[in-house]
Amino acid sequence: MYNFTMDIDNIYKILKKQFDENKLKHSEFVDFMENLKNPYLVLICCILSLRTNDKITIGAAKRMLELADNPSKMANIEVNELAHAIYPVGFYQNKAEQIVELSRLLVEKYNSIVPSKIDELTKFKGVGRKTANLVLTKGYNIPAICVDVHVHRICNRLGYVKTLKPDDTEMELRKILPKKYWIDFNTYLVTLGQNICKPQKPNCAVCPIEKYCKKLV
């Protein structure tokens, strides 16, 4: 049995190589988010992606950014116009209202600058820790740990953590995962989860890190 905590360097190295060489095929939306490099765009595109698959989200995100790509412009967009543009993402009307309201708050209270602190980001309606952490990592290049269902599932399956909820997984990873891996950890595990380490019937036979896995869940 491998000791995972001893091999995190190798696991990260393997997943990075697989991602960089596209051996683990990443979705167009993953690449899209990687290339934004803008906290505001990461924030509003992440809001769109909640409870919506990547294929639908990327089309909606591109249509949204054709309307407005900064808080000042978005604050002046009619909610119904934005809702029409982002349809059929899940809860499109609510998300349109949320994005316009958030943009207005940024203009009025934050000088159009997205906060770079988790506690400030989570004050916005509908922004949880997962979204806030993604803004820090992909928008500001600040080390943070974005934990979604893939990261939560895989870390527990590997035996790296033993937690019941994603927020608990984030807190455990903050204790044990080397900080140099925080920014891209989500990207690599999401890609692994979408391709191989799925919730049901994971394809362990082709998993590049199978030998490290305790297969606990």
List domains and CATH numbers for the chain.
Answer: 4-24+145-212 (1.10.1670.10), 30-139 (1.10.340.30)
Give the pLDDT mean for 196-201: 95
Q: How many CB atoms sit inside 10 A of residue 63's CB?
A: 14
Whether the predicted pLDDT of 132 surpasses 80: yes
Rounded average pLDDT over 77-83: 98
Segment 28-62, tens digit of pLDDT? 999 999 999 999 999 999 999 999 999 999 999 99
In this structure, which amino acid lies at residue 199? P
pLDDT at 203: 97
Query: What is the C-alpha separation between 160 and 23, in angstroms, rounded?
Result: 24
Per-residue pLDDT reduced to its tens digit, 85-124: 999 999 999 999 999 999 999 999 999 999 999 999 999 9
Residue 185, pLDDT > 60, answer: yes
| Residue 186 pLDDT grade (very low, low, confident, very high; cuts 50, 70, 90) | very high
DSSP 210: G
Residue 1: band (very low, low, confident or very high) from pLDDT cuts 50, 70, 90: very low
How far apart are the C-alpha atoms of 190 and 197, rounded to whole Å?
9
Say whether pLDDT at 2 is over 50: no
pLDDT surpassing 60 at residue 143: yes
* CB contact set of 56 (below 8 Å; sequence gap of 6+): 88, 89
**pLDDT mean over 14-38:** 93
> What is residue 213's DSSP assignment?
-
In whole angstroms, give the CA distance from residue 113 to residue 155.
33
Cis peptide before 208 (omega within 30 of 0): no
* C-beta of residue 145 within 8 angstroms of C-beta of residue 174: yes
- What pLDDT is stored for residue 52 in this prediction? 92
Query: Would you say the C-alpha torsion 7, 12, 15, 18 has a positive or negative sign?
Result: negative
Q: Is the pLDDT of residue 3 over 70?
A: no
Indicate if the pLDDT at residue 208 is higher than 70.
Answer: yes
- Residues 4 and 212 sit within 8 Å (Cβ to Cβ): yes
Prediction pTM value? 0.93
139 Cβ contact partners less than 8 Å away, ≥ 6 residues apart: 36, 37, 38, 39, 40, 41, 42, 43, 114
Eight-state DSSP code of residue 124 = S
- In whole angstroms, give the CA distance from residue 177 to residue 136: 17
Written as one letter, the residue type at 174 is R
- Three-state DSSP class for residue 82: helix
Nearest partner of 202 among 216, 188, 181, judged by Cα: 216
